[in-house]
Amino acid sequence: MVDTGSETYRANYAWMTREIDRLRAELKRSTEGGGAKYNERHKARGKLLPRERIEALLDEGSYFLEIAPLAGIGMEGEVPGAGIIGGIGLVENRECLIIANEATAKGGATGEPGLIKNARLADVARENRLPTILLVEAAGADLPQQSKVFVPGGRGFREITRRSKLRIPTISVVFGPSTAGGAYLPGMSDYVVMVRKRASVYLAGPPLVKMATGETADEESLGGAEMHSRVSGLSDFLADSELDGLRIAREIVSHFNLPKPTVEMAPVEEPLYPAEELLGIASADPRVPFEAREIIARIVDGSRFTEFKAQYGTTLVTGFAHVHGFPVGILANNGVLMSESAAKGAQFIALANQQNIPLLFLQNITGFMVGRSYEEQGIIRNGAKLINAVSNSTVPAITIMIGGSYGAGNYAMCGRAYDPRFLFTWPNHRIAVMGPQQLAGVMDIVKREGAARQGMAVDEEQLTSQKKALEDQITRESDPYFATARVWDDGIIDPRDTRTVLAISLSAALNRTVEGTMEWGVFRH
């Protein structure tokens, strides 16, 4: 039982509450687009704001799980949400990925963070076989950032066509000027809807055409909705208004013949313990451990958890449960990964694959145990076995980083590099090769040993200053906002929302047939 009156619980709860307040403030700021001035100018032209377009597109009462809402935060030339809104919601009772250009910020132009976010959204659509609806009003590349955007930017168009080949359709609804790269979004889509007297699509606008060819043309005759609907054939549907365009998009989705694979569901039960207590259970300090089973009890249906190998490899908790009726196999850190824990994890992943059960990783890990005796016991061999299992597993994996994520433990617990379908973090999350104090301490030892080998005296004041500067740097770079800005995760969430986020993620992931594998690479036994 959790002692909610303890000093530790109350301190954790107070700290997490403050961090959630900060998160809410940052999320609110991410919705402001280009700011009040440009939002009002956009609306004065009779246009819906991008988020209003999404709301009008979604089914009444639908959720919208936004992906990477804080991408680009704190980075140079920051644009709220990296100039793109993307997430999963229901359209005609079908899960779709919806992406809207933030037209009020730089005309919807895409910079480097936006490019990274777009690539992640493309992965979400492909990996989970989600139809995509693009709400387009885009100026193409942010030209001052062209050296960072131009070459990798082509991937986005390629991905649309590859999804089409996989029978994952894309619908573009064009609301305004869509120029250069923005023109290829509808150009590559399976279905194109253009709004009359609003939408225009062209590779080069009238000024550039005049300069390049001497031809004089206005926007409508060069690339307007009427021209593309009646002459070029780019547009498949001509909408009378923005709302009409969204209605047409919904109608297109209603005709999709894409049956969702069936999954053996259990009755949904709320956990026996309140999610509110997660705020006091999770440690504010990543160096302080907490009991993983207490987290599981507040996430899974009926707080029922069938633990696998409970007495063996106890620093990794493994077992089976349900979340909103969906079956899951859970791997949760309960301390540093030992050799036995790694071997147990590999076996458990194989069992989940055998039964086509999705995996949930609850990551709070300082890494693998080090030292002579642990090397002799085969920590590398068994650690490699776990990473092999994670790498080659084919059932959907969802990772929630509920604490620290350090070293090879990040890999073994299905960090971003191991392609979980979705990855979210809590505000207490920290990520780095190792903790700031450890990393700075290691570098201090290396410098001292290097000086000793060369017979040089050390400057204690300089070394102390360098150690402090490095520790501060790693502390900044371990921060969850630093990570989410670079789309190392799909977003920071309130721990109390974890169960809901998991349910949406699992439902989206199961649009693709679950086929666990029993084929693995070479295990070093």
Token pair of 357 as six digits: 């059960």
Alpha-carbon distance 408 to 412, whole Å? 6
> Span 201-205, mean pLDDT?
78
CA dist 138 and 201 (Å) reads 10
Backbone angles phi, psi at 100, to 5 degrees: -125, 130
Write out pLDDT tens, residues 342-385: 999 999 999 999 999 999 999 999 877 667 776 766 677 888 89
Mean pLDDT rounded to a whole number for the chain: 91
Q: What is the mean pLDDT of residues 382-390?
A: 90
Asked if residue 132 has pLDDT above 90, the reply is: yes
Length of the chain: 525
Work out the angle at residue 202's Cα, subtended by the Cα atoms of residues 198 and 208, and round it to the nearest 5 degrees.
115
pLDDT at residue 523, rounded to an integer: 75
Question: Smallest Cα–Cα separation from 314: which of 283, 347, 329, 336?
Answer: 336
Between the alpha carbon of residue 209 and those of residues 185, 204, 219, 231, 489, the distances in Å are: 20, 6, 11, 19, 41
Which amino acid, one-letter code, is at 255? H
Residue that is written with structure tokens 């920290």 in the block: 430
* Whole-angstrom distance, CA of residue 115 vs CA of residue 1: 46
Single-letter amino acid code for the residue at 291: E
Same domain, 129 and 273: no
Instruction: Specify the pLDDT at position 195.
Output: 97
For 1-18, what is the mean pLDDT?
95
Q: Note whether 125 and 96 are within 8 A (CB).
A: no
Within-domain flag for 486: no
Please say whether the dihedral angle defined by the alpha carbons of residues 297, 300, 306 and 312, taken in this order, is positive or negative: negative
The sign one gets for the Cα dihedral 27, 30, 36, 41 is negative
71-118 pLDDT per residue, tens: 999 988 888 899 999 999 999 999 999 999 998 887 777 778 889 999
Residue at 42 is within a domain: no
38 falls within a domain: no
**Do 276 and 222 share a domain, yes or no?**
no
Predicted confidence band of residue 488 (pLDDT cuts 50, 70, 90): very high
Same domain, yes or no: 467 and 509 = no
Spatial separation of the C-alpha atoms in residues 229 and 224, rounded to whole Å: 9
Residues 243, 312, single domain; the answer is no
- Map residue 115 onto helix, strand or coil: helix
- Helix, strand, coil percentages, rounded to 5, for the chain: 45, 20, 35
Q: How many structural domains compose the chain?
A: 3
Q: Is the pLDDT of residue 13 over 80?
A: yes
Place of tokens 């971003």: 416
Q: From 233, 254, 275, give the residue that closes a domain.
A: 254
Does residue 36 form part of some domain?
no
Looking at the fold, whether 283 and 313 belong to one and the same domain comes out as yes
What pLDDT does 382 receive?
80
pLDDT category at 208 given cuts 50, 70, 90 is low
Q: Is residue 39 part of a domain?
A: no
Domain end marker among 193, 221, 254: 254
CATH number, position 206? 3.90.226.10
For residues 315 and 284, the answer to whether their CB atoms sit within 8 Å is: no
3-class SS of residue 110: strand
At 273, which amino acid appears? Y
Asked if 289 and 407 sit in the same domain, the reply is yes
Q: In this structure, are 214 and 338 located in the same domain?
A: no
Last residue of a domain, one of 254, 279, 309: 254
In sequence order, the β-bridge partners of residue 169 are: none
Residue 460 has pLDDT above 60, yes or no: yes
d(CA 87, CA 74): 21
d(CA 269, CA 322): 9
Residues 345 and 312 in one domain: yes
Torsion angles phi and psi, residue 119, rounded to 5: -65, -40
The percentage of the chain sitting over the pLDDT mark of 70, rounded to a whole number, equals 96
Is 220 domain-assigned?
Answer: yes
10 and 121 both lie in a single domain? no
pLDDT band at 393 (very low <50, low <70, confident <90, very high): very high
pLDDT for residue 279 is more than 70:
yes
Same domain, 348 and 308: yes
Pseudo-torsion of CA 153, 157, 163, 167, nearest 10°? 170
Q: Please state, in angstroms and rounded to a whole number, the distance separating the CA atoms of residues 336 and 89.
A: 37
When pLDDT is averaged across residues 65-76 and rounded to a whole number, the result is 94
Cβ atoms 218, 206 nearer than 8 A:
yes
Torsion of CA 7, 8, 14, 18, to 10 degrees: 150
Task: Give, for 453, the enclosing helix (H) or strand (E).
Answer: helix 436-453
Segment of 36-40, 211-215, 221-225, 488-492 carrying the highest mean pLDDT: 488-492
Neighbours of 284 (CB within 10 A): 18
Q: Which of 47, 66, 257 is nearest to 173 (CA)?
A: 47
Structure tokens that stand for 486 in this block = 């670079």
DSSP 459-503: -HHHHHHHHHHHHHHHHHHHSHHHHHHTTSSS-B--GGGHHHHHH
> CA torsion 210→213→218→220, rounded to 10°?
-140
On whether both 321 and 308 belong to a single domain, the answer is yes
| 432 neighbors 406 (Cβ within 8 angstroms) | yes
Q: Which phi and psi angles does 87 have, rounded to 5°?
A: 180, 180
Domain that holds residue 240: 47-254
Residue 35 lies in a domain: no
User: What is the structure's pLDDT at 369?
Assistant: 64
Q: Which residues contact 492 (CB under 8 A, 6 or more apart)?
A: 23, 70, 424, 425, 426, 427, 429, 480, 481, 484
Are 25 and 80 in contact by the 8 Å Cβ rule? The answer is no
Gyration radius from the chain CA atoms: 25
Give the separation between CA 181 and CA 472, rounded to whole angstroms: 40
Q: Is residue 40 part of a domain?
A: no
Is residue 347 located within the same domain as residue 466?
no
Report DSSP letters for 309-333, one per residue: STTSSTTEEEEEEEETTEEEEEEEE
